[in-house]
A and B are shown apart, each in its own frame.
Chain A
């Protein structure tokens, strides 16, 4: 089992209920896409899975660690097995790409090794290999404030590839990338998870990317799970219902409507023409 959420609710300090009664579980090695309108609770759901927030109601068992690890050390051990790709890459501008990638293993390295690595990077081949997989091998020693937004996002992905976590969480990992690169990156994440038997949960803005690449689709709306189906069973009406209130349009990758029905593709084209 990768995780088991049981009746999870999450209320923020300002009283806003971000999640309500979420029950969801996944076997190790599953690949799940979260879709839903913005503000639906996708990021909150990923935060609970990533142990950033403890649920205010219900239980969350992550990676066989049980509900709520007992000690800070146990929590740190659990977190070292979870890799998160953030919406905006949390990397200091003055850090070099090599250091930013190596930071992925801080949870497993002893402290002396982490500190020594600041003086001379201790695993240059490892960081180079991870960056090579996102086509940035030539930026190994570049400072992150010299990279473009898309390149920086890929450094963040390389960090998680280098971390080799059992559970990969991705919060809109490709929203800063162009469509072709976005597709390649999603496929890379899936291939990596598949090869290592890791679980992948990604929230995606573009429904075509989700349905075309993931086996299981979870629709989230207003803090609840709207549907939880194999990709093949997610039809256009269901999607329109999920995104109702967003102007009747489905968010897709702008120029690559590969596999949505012709009607939906036309929809997107009309909208593109209007804007």
Chain B
């Protein structure tokens, strides 16, 4: 082929269009999130956060406070464990109903699937806020809230894992006359069990982080202490509580890592696949679950007494019909836009910060920084960012960015380490300096993974952005919190529906973007 000397890059036009569109889309979102870096250096704000941070040292270590702290920590662990048990009991039958695995004809089962979407789409903290109003302050609300949301998440992922493994063994068993449950037990479970167990353990780790913040809506645990400390601006107590958070999250991390590694070991040579370690682990699990329910008597049975059912009934009835008046809808629409802005701005800032922190990997201080950012939940960050920049959506975006930068930084570092090294090495051998070799060789290999991680995180952050308003950091959460405090259930239900629709829309948008990137 003859070379046309005036050949132009055919991709240039679409790149130019993208480069022009992105600011046009992002600008209003940054405006809506009220991004104002200047607020960080405002003298009044600096004074407030300075005083607060100065009080961090020394951390509070009085015997009375440590006693409270120990009780709250146990309560947090109990909420997480009991919530996970509930979630698991809910997830197994729902996953069985929802999944297309083991069926002779693929069905979508719209009923179960939409139930799962509703369970997952409403953040656990909103469930907790509602349950606190029905069952009163205390851990029972937190357990139920975790159980419902995590039940929905587990069921969806279980269903997807079961669909993703090789379907042939189960199909053959069914053709040989086995029923669906048995065909799944013998044909699917051996293939999927490791991934199922690994995901469950990972979710338990998330449940600990989630139960930490339940206290912010009065559902017990460490969050309640943190909430009080922040309201009193007691830096010393806040420091001790934060250290406890980190300790808890790191130990959960370590334990779940150990559990997942032990799933890789080959089975021993004996008839039963379960040995001493499994028996010990099973007993410990059972004891932990029982103790969790007994502790501070999380008595779910009492929920089914007549008066409880009645009060639930009247409470739920108050939510219908949702308030659809024009000026309320207008307010909710503005809340939706603000929530979207918080999630997008927070995720973008986190992606940039995470990338910067991921590049100099194997450098100890950065690993510690990433882990610290990650171990403090978004809502706790938000209580501090509202001190630093004042109430409003910018505080929410900053809080999301801080936590997400820790998560993404770690994932990015892993993705870059796992990217095929040959391309970058070859360029360095041809004399390319570090950063061009990275951009031409390593980055293209890792890019799809980086984009996918960022988009997944955005899906989580939209749910988080919806509740940051509980501590005054803007978005739909602020509306919901205020209306529920004023017993305006009909208005609150409009907000909840809006949250649900927003999270569904973001899921769809993110799935579409991921397809586009391939």
Binding site for B on A (CB under 8 A): 50-52, 76-84, 86, 88, 90-96, 98-99, 103-104, 106-109, 111, 114-115, 118-121, 124-125, 128-129, 132, 137-138, 140-141, 163, 165
Q: Return chain B residues, CB-CB under 8 Å to A88.
A: 422
Shortest beta-carbon contacts, A-B, top 4: A107-B431, A80-B431, A106-B432, A79-B431
- Determine whether B287 belongs to the interface, using a CB cutoff of 8 Å to chain A: no
Chain B window 413-434, contacts with chain A (Cβ cutoff 8 Å), 1 for yes, 0 for no: 0000000101101111111110
Complex CA gap A186/B428 in Å reads 25
Q: Cβ of A165: which chain B residues have Cβ within 8 Å of it?
A: 430
Contact of A84 among B7, B426, B437, B448 (CB under 8 A): B426
Q: How far is the CB of A10 from chain B (nearest CB, A)?
A: 16
Give Cα A76 to B427, complex, Å: 10
CB distance from B176 to the nearest CB of A (A): 41
Interface status of B447 (Cβ within 8 A of chain A) = yes
Which stretch, B10-18, B102-110, B138-146, B472-480, touches the partner chain A? B10-18
Check if B445 is an interface residue, CB within 8 A of chain A. Answer: yes
Alpha-carbon separation in the docked complex, A95 to B444 (Å): 6
B430 touches A141 (CB 8 A): no
Would you call B9 and A163 a contact (CB within 8 A)?
A: no
Most chain A Cβ neighbours within 10 Å, of B3, B425, B447? B3
Give B contacts to A, CB under 8 Å. Answer: 1-3, 5, 7-12, 15, 420, 422-423, 425-433, 435-437, 439-441, 444-445, 447-448
Asked if A141 meets B437 with Cβ closer than 8 Å, knowing A92-B445, A106-B427, the reply is no
- Mind listing 28 A-B residue pairs with CB under 8 Å? A50-B429, A76-B432, A78-B431, A80-B432, A81-B431, A86-B422, A86-B426, A88-B422, A90-B425, A90-B441, A91-B423, A94-B445, A94-B447, A94-B448, A103-B432, A103-B436, A104-B430, A106-B427, A106-B431, A106-B433, A106-B437, A108-B431, A111-B435, A114-B436, A114-B440, A115-B435, A128-B7, A137-B1
- CB closest chain-A residue, reference B444: A92
Closest Cβ neighbor of B435 among chain A residues: A111
In angstroms, Cα B8 to Cα A96, docked, is: 14
A141 to B15, CA, bound (A): 14
Report chain B residues within 8 Å CB of A95: 440, 444
Q: Specify which chain B residues have a CB less than 8 angstroms from the CB of A91 in the assembled complex.
A: 423
Are B3 and A103 in contact (CB-based, < 8 A)?
A: no
Contact of B440 among A86, A106, A129, A140 (CB under 8 A): A106
Measured between beta carbons, the chain A residues less than 8 angstroms from B447 are 94
> Which of A103, A115, A120 has the largest number of chain B CB atoms within 10 A?
A103
With contacts A86-B422, A94-B448 taken as known, whether A128 is within 8 angstroms of B3 at the C-beta atoms is yes
Interface centre among B8, B11, B422, B431 (most CB of A within 10 A): B431
A80 CA / B431 CA spacing, docked (Å) = 4
A138 proximity list for chain B (CB < 8 A) = 1
Of chain A, the residue at the smallest CB distance from B16 is A120
**Is A120 touching B12 in the complex (CB atoms < 8 A)?**
yes
Chain B residues lying within 8 Å of A104, measured Cβ to Cβ, are 430
Q: Are A90 and B422 in contact (CB under 8 A)?
A: yes
Instruction: Knowing A94-B447, A98-B9, A137-B3, say if A115 contacts B431 (CB, 8 Å).
Output: no
A129–B430 CB distance below 8 A: no
A129's partner among B3, B9, B11, B426 (CB-CB below 8 A) is B3
In the complex the two chains form, what is the Cα distance from A124 to B3 in whole Å? 10
Within the complex, what minimum Cβ distance (angstroms) separates A63 from chain B?
12
- Assembled-state Cα–Cα distance A6/B448 (Å): 46
Give bound CA distance, A50 to B444, whole Å. Answer: 24
How distant is B449 from chain A, measured CB to nearest CB, in Å? 11
Q: Looking at the assembled complex, report how far the CB atom of A145 sits from the nearest CB atom of chain B, in whole angstroms.
A: 10
- The answer to whether A125 touches B5 (Cβ under 8 A) is yes
Is A121 within 8 A of B436, CB to CB? no
B430 touches A80 (CB 8 A): yes
In the complex, chain A residues whose CB is within 8 Å of the CB of B440: 95, 99, 103, 106, 114, 118
Q: Nearest Cβ in chain B — how far from A115, in angstroms?
A: 6
Please measure, in the bound complex, the distance between the C-alpha atom of A236 and the C-alpha atom of B39, giving whole angstroms.
82
Tell me which residues across on chain B come within 8 A of A119, comparing CB atoms: 15
Residue in contact with A82 in the complex, picked from B7, B425, B431, B435, CB distance below 8 Å: B431
Docked Cα-Cα span, A165 to B437, in Å, equals 18
Q: Give the interface centre of B2, B15, B427, B429 by most chain A CB atoms within 10 Å.
A: B429
> A94–B444 contact, CB under 8 A?
yes
* A95 and B11 alpha carbons, distance in the complex (Å): 13
A121 proximity list for chain B (CB < 8 A): 9
Interface pair A84/B9, CB less than 8 Å apart: no
> What are the residues of chain A within 8 A of B435 when measuring CB–CB?
111, 114-115
Contact B430 A79 (CB under 8 A): yes
Q: Are A82 and B430 in contact (CB under 8 A)?
A: yes
B242 to chain A, nearest CB (A): 40
A161 to B191, CA, bound (A): 49
Q: Are A132 and B3 in contact (CB under 8 A)?
A: yes
With A and B bound together, what is the CA distance between A50 and B11 in angstroms? 35
Bound CA–CA A76/B428 (angstroms): 8
Interfacial chain B residues near A81, Cβ < 8 Å: 431
Q: Which residues of B contact A115 (CB under 8 A)?
A: 435-436, 439
CB distance from A128 to the nearest CB of B (A): 5
> In the complex, how many angstroms separate the beta carbon of B86 from the nearest chain A beta carbon?
44
Q: Is B9 a contact partner of A141 (Cβ separation < 8 A)? A: yes
The answer to whether A90 and B433 touch (CB under 8 A), given A95-B444, A118-B439, is: no
Interface centre among B11, B422, B430, B445 (most CB of A within 10 A): B430
B422 to A107, Cβ gap below 8 A?
Answer: no
CB neighbours (8 Å) of A94 from chain B are 444-445, 447-448
Q: What residues of chain A lie closer than 8 Å to B1, measured between beta carbons?
A: 132, 137-138
Q: Which chain A residue lies CB-closest to B422?
A: A90
Contacts of A79 in B (CB 8 A): 428-431
Q: Give bound CA distance, A129 to B15, whole Å.
A: 24
Q: List chain A residues, Cβ under 8 A from B444.
A: 92-95
Contact yes or no, B426 A125, CB < 8 A? no
How close is A167's CB to chain B, nearest CB, in angstroms?
Answer: 11
CB distance from B296 to the nearest CB of A (A): 54
Give the nearest-CB partner of A73 in chain B: B433
Cα A86 to Cα B439 with chains together (Å): 20
Report how far A222 CA is from B2 CA in the complex, Å: 47
Residues of A within 8 A of B2 (CB): 137
